[in-house]
Structure 1
Amino acid sequence: MTQHSLRTALSVNVNKVALVRNTRHLGIPSVERAALLCLEAGAQGITIHPRPDGRHIRADDVPALASLLRQWPDREFNIEGNPSQNLMEFIRAVRPHQATFVPDGEDQFTSDHGWSFPQDAERLAPLVAECRGLGVRVSLFMDAEPAQMAAARAVGADRVELYTEPYAAAWGTPAQEAQLLRYAVAAGAALEAGLGVNAGHDLNRDNLAAFVARVPGLLEVSIGHAFVADALELGYAATVQAYQRCIDAGMAQRRAGA
């Protein structure tokens, strides 16, 4: 089975659950409980992005979630963050399945761009090597720029996570088709370079199926903000199932177009 035919996995980002919890001192909603319910409903993984200011995921959430994921050996634990800030201490402590390196600043509102090469290569290469030495797969958060993919592979990355906000912003506009083509070409370049392809940022139930259908070799999508917004209405289990149906619809379209 090739990367082109593998079903796209759903990793649920629980940061926004933590954000709501942190507005009070009651410990609710529980981030660990949210992750458990998503796993029970069929999510293939859990993603967190523990920022240095602890605005959502806190340091003590990381080992708790790592312990939970060890009870689900067929699921993935993905920790995102800037390896020049606090990410590496978590990677060393819990050794998740995947570390996603994101080039955001400490006070940045949300991730809004990918790594750039060659300027980021020198500082990333030893950190990528350290993760891989710990048995942790490394994904680099990248803009959909085909020319950058070989360089991402050259620093040792296993995968790239395509930053999908430009696609999400174009959804339902005349620019939608051009953006889909842009991401398809970038994913193709990543595959040609020997990289696996992940994606995330502002994917939702409206735009996910088309993205899965058109982007080759898409191994994983990480979805948080829209997922939690939907879960407020539908509940965690029903929301997981709804997103899995979107993925299934996209996979069916991909097979039909093959």
Structure 2
Amino acid sequence: MTGPKELLVHGIYHLNQSTDFDLRMGMICIDNSVELMIKTYLGLPKRVTQIENLSRNKYNEIIQSFPKLIDALEEYCSEKLTGIDLGDIEWFHRLRNELYHNGNGITVEKTKVLIYAEIAKNLFYNLFEIPILEEDEIPDESLVGEYITNWIKFEKLLNSENGRFIPPFKKIRELYDSGKINDKTYREFAELNKFRNDLVHGQKEPEKKSLKIMNEILTKSVEILTHII
């Protein structure tokens, strides 16, 4: 796991330099780390991963393309995907490809790179059960990073009974229909989900005031979920 970790930490280093070049390099390094960590995990011995029916020939076929890696992760390791939306990873991978193949003059917002870094850190922890420690990276005081980190906690709580990814809004609706949350909490949870989607796939970073307010609501919502689930 040293290779994926080094790539991820190196990508975070570039992220924190904040120049256009560093943000492009950060996105590319982080995406490369995601690809390598999936290949590494799927290639581990069966007695380590407990993966059934993944032959060496099948593995060699899977590692030829990023979409096949994502599909294999979902097929063989669904229990490792709590807090992970594979659609997000595919979306960021396409963005990385645009930068890599048409990178001359193309810029990427720091928000996007930071969000992908948080997703990659979570995937690394899920697969190898080792966190990317604070001393391994340069700190970035960011409300965006704080929101994504707290959202991952929130999403993991939502899916704690399932052991795999289920769309957050579906789980929020289930909590409401079962009477576990009231109208006010339901609206707050739904707004948090919408804000998260806009943040990940939106064209610009929200105002700091909005981020601060939503972070406060999200922190409170994590506490509420802790007592419900």
TM-score (norm 1): 0.27
Q: Which has the higher contact order (CA 8 A, sep 6+)?
A: 2
Higher strand share: 1
Max Rg structure: 2
Higher helix share: 2
